[in-house]
Amino acid sequence: MRKRALGNTGVEVTELALGTWGLSGDGYGAVVAAEVDRVIDAALSHGIELFDTADVYAKGAIETKLGERIPKGKGFVVTKIGTDLAAQPIRKRFDPSFLEESLDRSAERLKRPLDIVLLHNPTQAALEKAECVGFMREQKNIGKMRLWGVSAGSADVARTAIEQGAEVVELAYNLTLPGDLHAIAGEASQRGTGILARSVLAYGLLAGHWTQDREFYPGDHRADRWTREELRIRVSQLEGLREVASKYVLTLRAAALRFALANDLVSSAVLGPRSVAQLEQLIREAGSEPPYLRDTMLVELSAKLEAAGIKL
């Protein structure tokens, strides 16, 4: 498993990371507990050393699971804080008192010093207020975490995070949503910000198996994420991409994963498998070394993205 620098933090991470939202049962429905163990163990056996989670995944149970299965002194865990599950309705909270309690609970569950802690989808206004930013800096300075950053839901939030000194930014980056990372590439490169690319398969869309009338089961977040018309448009956009991909790689899924890895700004691509079979398939299709995609393929993909109305 190859490693990349996490910006200019001095930390190196594996270029593939195991994301655990899918394993939590929160977003796609229940997962057998034994399979969760097997996926984490398989990731470790394949050399993956970066694990992405959040304090709210399965109400903290995924942090506990990672604390149990990752050997002490091995790997890095990215966790995210800033969601109050006890509130009715559930809400975001970035006040220092809540964040401090969250940090302590995460450290207890993970049973390890906190490696990388991200504010979990804050608004631009929350970051500009700077209260939470000052808190995170202070906690790093006193040794409660190694690195701090922001899991951003938009380019504007990511840009503000970088301006506020975030060492790591995580954001969605894939063939159907390349624009956010491209928009902040200059700032991230100049500041040396570590970039974690999530949603590299666009919640499964870029696996390339869906029809325009795809149905989702209850408990699957995708049932509410897109309207029927939005899903139809997204599936139709894949035809041109699939045409290009078939000339260079075996599957659209491989092209999507390698698209993320082909961007030198990306420190690690966060995978979201829900089984060992899915994990091993993704690792095979990621390729073993650069160049992950030929320059000619990237040019052709860019043309198809523009033709499909996808903002670059």
Query: What integer is the mean pLDDT of 73-94?
Result: 96
Tell me the chain's radius of gyration from C-alpha atoms: 19
d(CA 27, CA 38): 19
Whether the per-residue pLDDT at 63 is higher than 90: the answer is yes
Q: What's the CA gap between 265 and 120, in Å, rounded? A: 21
DSSP per position, the chain: --EEE-TTSS-EEESEEEE-HHHHTSSB----HHHHHHHHHHHHHTT--EEE--TTGGGGHHHHHHHHHSPTT-SEEEEEE-EETTSSS-EE---HHHHHHHHHHHHHHHTS-EEEEEEES--HHHHHH-HHHHHHHHHHHTTSEEEEEEE-SSHHHHHHHHHTT-SEEEEE-BTTB-HHHHHHHHHHHHHT-EEEEE-TTGGGGGGS---TT----TTBTHHHHS-HHHHHHHHHHHHHHHHHHTTTSS-HHHHHHHHHHT-TTEEEEEE--SSHHHHHHHHHHH-SSS-SS-HHHHHHHHHHHHHTT---
* Omega cis (within 30) before 96: no
Q: What is the pLDDT of residues 33-56, one digit of tens each?
A: 999 999 999 999 999 999 999 999
Is the pLDDT reported for residue 311 higher than 90?
Answer: no
Task: Give the mean pLDDT of 266-294.
Answer: 95
- As a whole-number percent, the residues of the chain with pLDDT over 70 amount to 100
pLDDT confidence band for 66 (50 / 70 / 90): very high
- Residues paired with 271 in a beta bridge: 18
What average pLDDT does the segment 26-31 reach? 93
Token pair belonging to 194: 């570590």
Query: Confidence class of residue 293 from pLDDT cuts 50, 70 and 90?
Result: very high
Q: Would you say residue 288 has pLDDT above 90?
A: no
The answer to whether 174 and 260 are in contact (CB under 8 A) is yes
Confidence of residue 25 (pLDDT cuts 50, 70, 90): very high
Q: How confident is the model over 77-84, as a mean pLDDT?
A: 98
| pTM attached to this predicted model | 0.96
Q: What is the pLDDT of residues 175-228, one digit of tens each?
A: 999 999 999 999 999 999 999 999 999 999 999 999 999 999 888 999 999 999
Domain locations along the chain: 3-205+260-292
Average pLDDT over residues 125-130: 93
263: nearest Cα among 78, 19, 15: 15
Instruction: Supply the DSSP string of 169-207, one letter for each residue.
Output: EEEE-BTTB-HHHHHHHHHHHHHT-EEEEE-TTGGGGGG
Instruction: Answer whether 198's CB lies under 8 Å from 170's CB.
Output: yes
Residue 312 pLDDT: 85
Cβ–Cβ < 8 Å for 84, 114: no
What's the token pair of residue 198?
């999530």
Tokens of 56: 């709210």
In this prediction, residues 300-312 reach a mean pLDDT of 91
Cβ–Cβ contacts within 10 Å for residue 188, how many?
A: 22
CA distance 28 to 215: 13
Instruction: Give the tens place of pLDDT for each residue, 137-155.
Output: 999 999 999 999 999 999 9
CATH topology of domain 3-205+260-292: TIM Barrel (3.20.20)
Cα first-last separation, the chain? 29
Mean pLDDT of the chain: 96
Residue 68 token pair: 């149990």
Residue 115 to residue 108: CA distance in whole angstroms: 13
User: What is the reported pLDDT for 149?
Assistant: 98
Indicate whether 165 pLDDT > 90: yes
